[in-house]
Amino acid sequence: MEKVKQEEGGIPGDGRCLFRSVAYGACMRVGHSSPSESRQKEQADELRERVRDAFLFFEHQKHVMPITVYMRDNSSGNLKIIAEYGQEYGKENPICVLYHGYGHYDALENTSDSSLFRT
């Protein structure tokens, strides 16, 4: 079991949270700073429009990005993987999102402080 610390990105629950979380994670994945609120919204809307064609393609379909969805285990407080997408294209440096339940997603950022378990 690999230890990994995850920090939530504070994505608002505005009906675009999954897409905003993926857009946020895509920026973090390539080393960019977190996008502004308006840029998150713009990227989320663009990504949502592309869902019909291919959910895993982003930024003009130049990169395929694996996405890992986590949920917090109620008993331990640790994060557990509940879904993985695009793993056939590579497992390194996935975009990480946290599913809170009730239809809300948030962005997760990896940090070097290892206090939570990835299962």
Which range has highest mean pLDDT (28-32, 49-53, 57-61, 70-74)?
70-74
Q: Is 96 a catalytic residue?
A: no
Rounded to 10 degrees, what is the CA torsion of 54, 90, 40, 32?
-140
Q: Is 104 a catalytic residue?
A: yes
Catalytic residue, from 45, 63, 100, 104: name it: 104
Query: pLDDT confidence of 113, banded at 50, 70, 90?
Result: very low
Domain boundaries, the chain: 2-118
The whole-chain average pLDDT of the chain stands at: 75
Q: What proportion of the chain, given as a percentage, has pLDDT over 70?
A: 72
Catalytic residue, from 14, 32, 73, 113: name it: 14
pLDDT given at position 63? 54
Q: Under CATH, which architecture does the 2-118 domain have?
A: Alpha-Beta Complex (3.90)
CA dist., res. 68 & res. 83, Å (int): 6
pLDDT given at position 20? 84
Q: Is 14 a catalytic residue?
A: yes
Radius of gyration of the chain (CA): 14
Chain segment 5-54, per-residue pLDDT in tens: 455 667 888 888 888 888 888 888 888 888 888 888 888 888 777 765 55
* Phi, psi (deg, nearest 5) at residue 87: -65, -25
